[in-house]
Amino acid sequence: MKILLVITKGNYGGAQRYVCDVASGMIAKGNHVTVAFGEPGLLAGHLANLGISHVILPRLARDPAPINDLRAIFDLRQLIHNERPDVVHLNSSKAGFLGAIAARTILRNRPTVVFTVHGWPFNEKRSRPARLLYYVLSMVIVALSDVVICVSRKALSDLQPPFMRRRATVIHNGIRPAVCDPPVGEIGRRVATERARRKFLIATIAELHKNKGLDSGISILGSLREAGVPVHWFIFGEGEERALLEERIRAARLEEVVTLCGYVQDASRYLPLFDVFFLPSHTEAFPYVLLEAASSGLPSVARAVGGIPELVVQEVTGFLGEDDRELGTHLERLAKDTLLRSRLGTAAKEKISDFSLDRMIEATRSVYALAGPGGRVA
Question: Which pLDDT belongs to residue 124?
Answer: 86
Question: Which pLDDT belongs to residue 309?
Answer: 97
Tell me, yes or no, whether 107 lies in a domain. yes
Question: Which pLDDT belongs to residue 371?
Answer: 62
Based on the fold, state whether residues 77 and 202 are members of the same structural domain: no
pLDDT, one tens digit per residue, over 154-203 is: 999 999 888 899 989 999 999 998 776 788 789 999 999 999 999 999 99
Question: Which pLDDT belongs to residue 375?
Answer: 44
Based on the fold, state whether residues 191 and 168 are members of the same structural domain: no
Q: CA-CA distance, 194 to 339, in Å (whole number)? A: 20
278, containing H or E segment: strand 276-279
Q: Is the pLDDT of residue 364 over 50?
A: yes
Question: Region 60-71: what's the mean pLDDT?
Answer: 88
pLDDT, one tens digit per residue, over 79-107 is: 999 999 999 999 999 999 999 999 999 98
Based on the fold, state whether residues 45 and 100 are members of the same structural domain: yes
Map residue 364 onto helix, strand or coil.
helix
Q: Is the pLDDT of residue 378 over 60?
A: no
Whether 292 contacts 175, CB under 8 Å: yes
Based on the fold, state whether residues 97 and 28 are members of the same structural domain: yes
Tell me, yes or no, whether 327 lies in a domain. yes
Tell me, yes or no, whether 180 lies in a domain. no
Q: CA-CA distance, 43 to 239, in Å (whole number)? A: 15
Total structural domains in the chain? 2
Tell me, yes or no, whether 205 lies in a domain. yes
Q: Is the pLDDT of residue 242 over 90?
A: yes
Question: Region 228-255: what's the mean pLDDT?
Answer: 97
Least confidently predicted of 71-80, 262-271, 366-375: 366-375
Q: CA-CA distance, 376 to 369, in Å (whole number)? A: 11
Based on the fold, state whether residues 303 and 330 are members of the same structural domain: yes
Map residue 61 onto helix, strand or coil.
coil
How confident is the prediction for the chain on average, in pLDDT? 93
Based on the fold, state whether residues 159 and 32 are members of the same structural domain: yes
Q: CA-CA distance, 4 to 91, in Å (whole number)? A: 11
Q: Are strands 2-7 and 32-37 parallel, antiparallel or unpaired?
A: parallel
Neighbours of 93 (CB within 10 A): 21
Question: Which pLDDT belongs to residue 160?
Answer: 87
Based on the fold, state whether residues 191 and 157 are members of the same structural domain: no
Length of the chain: 378
Q: Nearest Cα to 116, choosing from 135, 133, 134, 99?
A: 99
Based on the fold, state whether residues 81 and 154 are members of the same structural domain: yes
Based on the fold, state whether residues 166 and 205 are members of the same structural domain: no
Q: How many CA atoms lie within 13 A of 45 on its CB side?
A: 5
Q: CA-CA distance, 370 to 253, in Å (whole number)? A: 57
- Phi then psi dihedrals of residue 235, to 5 deg: -110, 115
Q: CA-CA distance, 149 to 173, in Å (whole number)? A: 11
- Residues of the domain holding 256: 185-354
Based on the fold, state whether residues 161 and 220 are members of the same structural domain: no
Tell me, yes or no, whether 375 lies in a domain. no
Q: CA-CA distance, 369 to 371, in Å (whole number)? A: 6
Tell me, yes or no, whether 378 lies in a domain. no
User: Could you tell me the CATH number of the domain that includes residue 257?
Assistant: 3.40.50.2000
Map residue 282 onto helix, strand or coil.
coil
Q: Is the pLDDT of residue 374 over 70?
A: no
Q: Is the pLDDT of residue 234 over 80?
A: yes
Question: Which pLDDT belongs to residue 74?
Answer: 96
Tell me, yes or no, whether 285 lies in a domain. yes
- Phi then psi dihedrals of residue 92, to 5 deg: 85, 150
Q: Is the pLDDT of residue 65 over 80?
A: yes
Based on the fold, state whether residues 263 and 124 are members of the same structural domain: no
User: Is the pTM above the cut of 0.85?
Assistant: yes
Least confidently predicted of 31-35, 99-103, 265-269, 329-333: 265-269
Higher-pLDDT residue of 354 and 245 is: 245
Based on the fold, state whether residues 33 and 164 are members of the same structural domain: yes
Task: Tell me the percentage of the chain whose pLDDT exceeds 90.
Answer: 86
Q: Is the pLDDT of residue 236 over 50?
A: yes
Tell me, yes or no, whether 377 lies in a domain. no
Question: Which pLDDT belongs to residue 328?
Answer: 98
44, containing H or E segment: helix 42-50
Question: Which pLDDT belongs to residue 376?
Answer: 43
